[in-house]
Structure 1
Amino acid sequence: MSSVSVVIPCYKYGHYLADCVSSVLDEQPGLDVRVLIIDDCSPDDSAEAALALAAKDPRIEVRVHAVNKGHIATYNEGLLEWADGDYTVLLSADDRLTPGALTRAVALLDAHPEVGFAYGHPIHFQHGSPLPPARTELRGTTVFPGQWWLARRFKEAHGCITSPEVVVRTALQREVGGYDPELPHAGDVEMWMRLASRADVGYLRGVDQAYYRKHGNNMSATEFGGQMDDLRQNKVAYDAVLSGCAEHLQNRAKLADTVNRKLARIALRRAVRAYDRGRTDVVPEADLIAFAAECWPNYRALPEYKGLLLRRAIGAKAMPYLQPLVLTAVVSKVRERLWWRSWRLRGI
């Protein structure tokens, strides 16, 4: 029977713990599962809630920090110092697994020793709303070559994983080490890529593997003043992979060019959207352009920059009203170019 070590860091989320732990211990048949709850010096009764759960079930252990160590140190304590099962899961106390999630992921990992971690689709739901139904009938599995999956992440400049839906092979987790304290907001993105640089990646098709709770404490940092934070963190994360995993990467130079060009385009796109949505007063356009220039010196040649110049000419006040006309004109121009290209390819 395969074993799974589940690390549940907790800070002021004690009221979620019972549901989180139940999803791990009561809904994952056929596995030897143990849980470690680490309370990071919560100022409320979270530690007491954790200890009460442990008193009822010997599969649960609890550690309570005397001082707050932060989420990265807490993650690494559980993953590197405690976890000793065949596989490891890092699950926030406010999230939960779907029925059979670990059973499905472990079956894939058992069948494919070359796979370093497996994941599936997460359900994002709003706190206070009823829990949406989960798909639990597996339609199949896919094993992606690690280097191919890694190249996709560099092409999209996006991690594609929320976090609770991932099950990692413990031996590989120990090999690559813990989360980087220099990446407090993008450490998970860097971790998945670091793992993929050394092993293949498994995907569970047609099922939901975890619930991710959305509430005020985990809202995206891309709104208003935080427009730059996630971009900078992502760049640091990709740079960390390029430097720290260099010996494991194929076409490192191409990966660097690909992700930097994509990050520049994302930054410029945000500046463009500020005009479209009437938010130029709160979106840091100058900072976004400076970031784009840092990533891709030839940023002025990118289509997003040309779109930004057009919106500047129209003006911030008029653009939200004229956006449909501008988009229609752009689409028509693209269609015209594609039409002429198709004729040239036919030799006419």
Structure 2
Amino acid sequence: MSSALSMSSAVSKSSVSVVIPCYRYGRFLPDCVRSVLDEQPGLDVRVLIIDDASPDDSAAVARRLAAEDPRIEVRVHDANRGHIATYNEGLLDWAKGDYTVLLSADDRLVPGALLRAAALLDAHPEVGFCYGRPLHFRHGGPLPPARTRSSGSRVYPGRWWLERRFREGTGCITSPEVVVRTSLQRAVGGYDPALPHAGDIEMWMRLAAHADVGYVRGADQAYYRVHGANMSRTDFGGQLDDLRQRRAAYDAVLDRCAERLPGAGGLALLAHTRLARYALRRAYRAYDRGRTAEVPVDELVAFARDCLPLTGAVERLPEYRALRLRRRIGPRAMPYLQPLLLSPVRDRAREWLWWQSWKRRGL
């Protein structure tokens, strides 16, 4: 009993800085802030809302919330600076707590999420950041029931976790479920302005190159809102941009953290191979769906070749063989014959989740 009380006391002393960037999301702010300040007991929590020159009433809503609660600060930009600059302003210039959270104004935390994350980080000083399972919910509908009782935690060696990201070629994090050790965030720096659509996965990998990674088991940690504003980029050219941004993110990590990542060439090959396969998959699926007039098939193949420039490397991939067969059949007949063909597609669910979150970041 005494050890449990001691742990509770230690956790209660932890402080968390929550940065809430906001652009045109004033209508979501009250619920977002409520989930941070009213549903996270046992912690010293402070909130900074940064309105990036929203044309709606976001600034007024933020100021009203701050007037009602001294734990809230507000900054309002005179001109729009973009999401990366806004993130970095809060994370690097303002955050002073033991731990830091970057939470979009249209998302929210699950009750007790910060306490569960703080307990993990308090118990494992070698962990640089932790995350858990996010719940996706559709705007306008009810919140899905959340699990709030953790079944424990897991700590992954940072290098192992990072290598898995390279091997899979996708992120496994949506974003609002992450809690970062503030000292590490300051040590590695902010988000990269050159990666507006893949800066998050680059950040998680950069953090993992410097520290271990924690995972909250059993409980849900955040709600990710799915609505029209974060599903607006559905063009297939955007999907090609997604792949380019992903490759740039992996290459940036290898460049910035080379001294911490022996065997960087092998990691690069893992990521480039996976991204080439994703590109070819999107190319051959265009034939399956009768969308070769919309999907930039030739550009996707060119991207795959650029990822794997060695002669014959692309041709040995199963996705390329699938594409070659579909080209022989032709775009008109292929949608009718597709059910008869075996597909080499794997990891569809993981890539779909990445694509949904990338469309959100593409705003």
TM-score (norm 2): 0.89
What per-residue deviation string (whole Å, max 9, x for no partner) do you get for residues 42-75 of structure 1?
1111100000000000000000111111110000
| Equivalence for 1:147 | 159
| Equivalence for 1:314 | 329
| Equivalence for 1:181 | 193
| Equivalence for 1:340 | none
| Equivalence for 1:162 | 174
**In the alignment, which of 267, 270, 277 is matched to residue 289 of structure 2?**
277
Q: Secondary structure, in 3 states, of the residue corresponding to 1:300? A: coil
Q: Secondary structure, in 3 states, of the residue corresponding to 2:217? A: strand
The AA in structure 2 aligned to 1:245 is C
| Equivalence for 1:235 | 247
Mapped to 2, the partners of 1:183 and 1:220 lie a distance apart of 19
- Percent identical pairs in the alignment equals 73
**In the alignment, which of 119, 125, 128 is matched to residue 113 of structure 1?**
125
**In the alignment, which of 245, 255, 263 is matched to residue 257 of structure 2?**
245
**In the alignment, which of 324, 340, 345 is matched to residue 339 of structure 2?**
324
The AA in structure 2 aligned to 1:60 is I
Q: How far 1:222 moved relative to its partner?
A: 5.6
Q: Secondary structure, in 3 states, of the residue corresponding to 1:201? A: strand
Q: Secondary structure, in 3 states, of the residue corresponding to 1:327? A: coil
Contact 1:141 1:202 (C-alpha < 8 Å) held by counterparts: yes
More deviation in 215-224 or 319-328?
215-224
Question: Residues 1-348 of structure 1: matches in 2 within 5 Å?
Answer: 1-219=13-231, 221=233, 223-297=235-309, 298-327=313-342
Contact 1:222 1:229 (C-alpha < 8 Å) held by counterparts: no
C-alpha spacing 1:220/1:195, structure 2 compared with 1 (3 Å) = farther
| Equivalence for 1:335 | none
Q: Secondary structure, in 3 states, of the residue corresponding to 1:118? A: strand
| Equivalence for 2:354 | none
What per-residue deviation string (whole Å, max 9, x for no partner) do you get for residues 166-223 of structure 1?
0000000000000000000000010000000000000011211001111222227464
The AA in structure 2 aligned to 1:306 is R
Q: Which runs of 5+ in 2 are unaligned?
A: 1-12, 346-363
Mapped to 1, the partners of 2:163 and 2:237 lie a distance apart of 30
Contact 1:123 1:211 (C-alpha < 8 Å) held by counterparts: yes
| Equivalence for 1:343 | none
Q: Secondary structure, in 3 states, of the residue corresponding to 2:341? A: helix
| Equivalence for 2:4 | none
Contact 1:118 1:201 (C-alpha < 8 Å) held by counterparts: yes
TM-score (norm 1): 0.93
Q: Secondary structure, in 3 states, of the residue corresponding to 2:315? A: helix
Q: How far 1:313 moved relative to its partner?
A: 0.8
Q: How far 1:227 moved relative to its partner?
A: 2.1
| Equivalence for 1:338 | none
Mapped to 2, the partners of 1:48 and 1:252 lie a distance apart of 48
Mapped to 1, the partners of 2:321 and 2:195 lie a distance apart of 32
Q: Which runs of 5+ in 1 are unaligned?
A: 332-348
Q: How far 1:83 moved relative to its partner?
A: 0.2
| Equivalence for 2:356 | none
What per-residue deviation string (whole Å, max 9, x for no partner) do you get for residues 60-117 of structure 1?
0000111111110000000000000000000000000000000000000000000000
Mapped to 2, the partners of 1:179 and 1:324 lie a distance apart of 43
Number of residue-to-residue matches in the alignment: 330
Structure index of larger Rg:
1
What per-residue deviation string (whole Å, max 9, x for no partner) do you get for residues 207-247 of structure 1?
11001111222227464231211000001101100111101
Mapped to 2, the partners of 1:299 and 1:221 lie a distance apart of 28
C-alpha spacing 1:221/1:149, structure 2 compared with 1 (3 Å) = farther
Mapped to 1, the partners of 2:241 and 2:139 lie a distance apart of 24
The AA in structure 2 aligned to 1:6 is V
More deviation in 221-230 or 314-323?
221-230
Mapped to 2, the partners of 1:253 and 1:233 lie a distance apart of 19
Q: How far 1:127 moved relative to its partner?
A: 1.1
The AA in structure 2 aligned to 1:10 is C
Mapped to 2, the partners of 1:279 and 1:251 lie a distance apart of 40
Q: Secondary structure, in 3 states, of the residue corresponding to 1:117? A: strand
